[in-house]
Amino acid sequence: MTLEILTADSLAPLRHGFFTRRGGASSGVFTGLNCGQGSTDQREAVAINRARVADAMDVAPDHLQSVHQVHSASVVTLEAPLTERPRADAMVTATPGIALAILTADCQPVLFADARAGIVGAAHAGWRGALDGVLEATVDAMVTLGAARNDISAVIGPSISQTAYEVSADFMSAFVAKDADHARFFAPGAEGRMQFDLPAFGLECLHRAGVGHAEWTGHCTYGDPDRFYSYRRTTHRGEVDYGRLIATIRL
């Protein structure tokens, strides 16, 4: 099956993509393009999948770069391919030929580009990382490299949507404690629970960081099992593990 790659006009002409699960070598609960090296999938299948992504991005497999994601606000600046994966949740680079790759399965994959300055970034932004400022930190790191905030475009890829993201009242309290205005990202749910709008919160973080353009592709990972992996859907189904989607960008 051919790879399915979602792109955004605002990131053109730079090569980039939010890859769906279609077109991969994995089977079972991982069926498709599982790129998660930390999953329990067969290593050979994951390696094949990542090689297919690297080929689509026109880079060697060892130039498809990812970090050990830990739901932090840490950003790594790459000048050359990494020799080991640091614990971080975002990367930026001004070096051509390095494809920055983020893995997700409900959290936000966010790709950044200042095409004029020749600087790109990629971030993994779940609720914790977003609340702690990983998106703003990624923009700051790009500016340090020479990007202009107004020239940065940022695109949030397939993520869990508000209708599928039920959370507790305590979860909401953590957001409201930081800023009372954060209450607007929650809607009443069933039995006293709340529905959290993660992509809307991500967009707010990006606007607050001063980027010139920000958008969400509008794809919900939970609601489309044929195209996307979802940690929450896997949990609800009682499955043993889940695949990871990949999003990547390069100069």
List, for residues 114-125, the tens digit of each pLDDT value: 999 999 999 999
Spell out the domain ranges in the chain: 5-161+197-246
Per-residue pLDDT, averaged over 73-80, amounts to 98
- Model confidence, pTM: 0.98
Q: What percentage of the chain carries pLDDT values higher than 70?
A: 100
3-state secondary structure of 179: coil
pLDDT-derived band at 216, boundaries 50, 70, 90:
very high
> What does the pLDDT read at residue 154?
98
Per-residue pLDDT, averaged over 58-87, amounts to 96
Q: Does domain 5-161+197-246 have CATH number 3.40.50.720?
A: no
Tokens of 194: 């709340």
> What does the pLDDT read at residue 161?
98
pLDDT at 101 over 80: yes
> What does the pLDDT read at residue 39?
97
pLDDT at 1 over 80: no
**37 vs 88: CA distance, rounded Å:** 15
pLDDT-derived band at 233, boundaries 50, 70, 90:
very high
> What does the pLDDT read at residue 7?
98
> What does the pLDDT read at residue 159?
98
C-beta of residue 135 within 8 angstroms of C-beta of residue 158: no
C-beta of residue 251 within 8 angstroms of C-beta of residue 95: yes
**202 vs 15: CA distance, rounded Å:** 23
φ, ψ dihedrals at 120, nearest 5° = -130, 165
**Residue closest to 156 by CA, chosen among 187, 119, 117, 129:** 129
